[in-house]
C-alpha cells in the first residue's frame, strides 16, 4: 500500500527546530564520542539509504511477511487485543474467559482482513516502544521530542524506527534490542531515566510499552505497526510507506547498533525488584488507630534502605502493593 496524500500532509509541518536541536546527531543518532558501539557517528540508520547494497539482507519477498509477523511472536504473548467498531479495544479470550496466546495465524488473518490487532507483553521483550500522542507536549509538532531521545541515549537506546501509529497522527518510536530482556526491568529502567530527565511518563503524553505495571496486573496493549493509517516515517517525519521489507531492514540495523554496554549498566545501576521480593512483607504492622503517618514513614525507610527503591514512583508502587496487606497486630520479624 502506498502513502496517500492525507497521510503525507500531516507530517509535513516544519520541524527545523527539532532538527537544529539534534543536528549533531546526524539523523537521530548520538553525537557523543564514546567507545560504545551504539554511538558510531559514521552509522546513520535513520537516513533510509535506498541503495540495496548498503542495507542488511532480508528474506525474499515470499518470506518478508512471515518474518515481519514473527517480530511480534519472538517472545510468548497472551491476550491479544482487537480494535472493534463502536466498542474500542477488546481483549481476546476464550469463551470460558481464559487467556489465549497470540499466534502467527491470528496476526496474518487480521492484517489480511484489515482488522486492527495488538498485543501485550509477556515476561521478556526484544524491543521498547514509546507512544507519543498527536497532542503531546513531546510530539515533534510541539518541538518536544529531543528530551526523550536524549534521555534514552544516556542508557544506550540510541537507534529507533519512527512510525505513525494511526490516522490520529500519533507517533510510535520502536527501539529494537539485540537480545531479549526482562520486560518489567526494561520498563522500570526506562521509566526512571525519563522521569529523571523531567519527562512525565503517562498516557496521552509519553507512554512506555512495556509499561511499569503493578504486581499481578498485565502490561498495556500495543497496536501493531503498518496497519490502517500506520506508516514508516523518515528523519523529517514524512511518510515513506508501509513496506514491511523496509521496516525489517531498519529494525535489524537498529537492533544491531544499540549500545548494549550502556544499557547493561543502566539495568545494573537500578536495583531490580522481583515479584518474589514484592511479596516479602517488612516487619511493620498496623497496631493501633491513627498511625498512618508512622506506618508510611516506616515503609518509606524500609523501601529505601532494604528494598533499594530510590525514586518516588518505585516507592509508591511498592507501598501501594504492601500497605493494605500488612498484618494487624504485632509486627512480624
Q: Distance between alpha carbon 285 and the CA centroid of its chain, in Å?
A: 37
Residue with the three cell numbers 484489515: 114
The tens digit of pLDDT for each residue in 80-133 reads 999 998 788 999 889 998 989 999 999 999 999 999 999 999 889 999 999 999
Query: Where in the chain are the domains?
Result: 5-265, 275-328
Q: Distance between alpha carbon 320 and the CA centroid of its chain, in Å?
A: 24
What was the pLDDT predicted at 157? 97
Distance CA 243, CA 309 (A): 44
Reference 117, options 77, 155, 58; nearest CA is 77
The tens digit of pLDDT for each residue in 133-144 reads 999 999 998 888
Helical (H) or strand (E) element with 242: none
- Is pTM, for the whole model, over 0.85? no
8 Å CB contact between 176 and 182? no
How many Cα atoms within 13 Å fall on the side-chain side of residue 196? 16
Q: Which residues pair with 233 in a beta bridge?
A: 162, 239
Helix (H, G, I), strand (E, B) or coil at 164: strand
Vertex 178: Cα angle to 190 and 163 (nearest 5): 65
**Residue ranges of the chain with per-residue pLDDT less than 70:** 1-62, 215-216, 270-281, 329-333
Residue 174, sorted as left (phi over 0), alpha (psi -120 to 50) or beta, turns out to be: beta
What was the pLDDT predicted at 23? 33
Q: What is the DSSP letter of 78?
A: B
Mean pLDDT, the chain, as a whole number? 78
What was the pLDDT predicted at 5? 41
What was the pLDDT predicted at 232? 96
Amino acid at each position: 500500500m502506498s502513502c496517500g496524500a492525507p497521510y503525507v500532509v500531516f507530517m509535513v509541518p516544519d520541524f527545523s527546530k527539532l532538527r537544529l536541536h539534534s543536528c549533531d546527531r546526524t539523523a537521530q543518532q548520538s553525537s557523543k564520542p564514546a567507545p560504545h558501539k551504539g554511538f558510531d557517528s559514521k552509522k546513520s540508520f535513520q537516513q533510509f539509504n535506498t541503495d540495496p547494497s548498503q542495507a542488511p539482507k532480508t528474506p525474499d519477498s515470499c518470506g518478508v511477511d512471515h518474518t515481519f509477523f514473527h517480530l511480534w511472536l519472538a517472545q510468548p504473548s497472551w491476550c491479544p487485543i482487537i480494535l472493534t467498531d463502536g466498542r474500542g479495544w477488546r481483549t481476546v479470550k476464550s469463551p470460558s474467559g481464559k487467556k489465549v496466546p497470540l499466534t502467527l495465524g491470528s496476526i496474518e488473518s487480521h492484517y489480511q482482513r484489515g482488522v486492527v490487532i495488538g498485543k501485550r507483553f509477556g515476561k521478556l521483550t526484544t524491543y521498547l516502544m514509546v507512544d507519543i500522542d498527536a497532542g503531546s507536549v513531546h510530539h515533534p509538532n510541539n518541538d518536544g521530542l529531543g528530551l526523550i531521545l536524549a534521555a534514552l541515549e544516556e542508557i544506550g537506546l540510541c537507534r529507533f524506527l519512527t512510525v505513525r501509529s494511526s490516522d490520529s497522527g500519533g507517533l510510535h518510536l520502536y527501539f529494537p534490542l539485540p537480545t531479549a530482556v526482562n520486560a518489567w526491568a526494561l520498563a522500570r529502567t526506562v521509566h526512571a531515566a525519563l522521569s529523571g530527565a523531567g519527562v512525565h511518563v503517562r498516557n496521552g503524553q509519553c507512554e512506555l510499552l512495556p509499561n511499569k505495571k503493578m504486581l499481578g496486573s498485565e502490561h498495556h496493549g500495543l497496536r501493531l505497526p503498518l496497519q490502517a493509517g500506520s506508516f514508516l516515517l523518515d528523519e523529517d517525519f514524512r511518510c515513506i510507506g508501509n513496506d514491511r521489507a523496509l521496516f525489517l531492514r531498519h529494525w535489524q540495523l537498529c537492533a544491531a547498533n544499540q549500545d548494549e554496554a550502556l544499557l547493561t549498566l543502566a539495568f545494573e545501576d537500578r536495583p531490580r525488584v522481583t515479584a518474589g521480593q514484592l511479596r516479602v512483607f517488612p516487619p511493620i504492622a498496623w497496631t493501633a488507630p491513627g498511625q498512618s503517618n508512622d506506618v508510611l514513614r516506616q515503609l518509606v525507610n524500609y523501601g529505601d534502605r532494604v528494598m533499594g527503591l530510590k525514586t518516588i514512583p518505585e516507592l509508591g508502587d511498592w507501598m501501594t502493593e504492601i500497605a493494605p496487606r500488612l498484618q494487624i497486630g504485632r509486627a512480624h520479624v
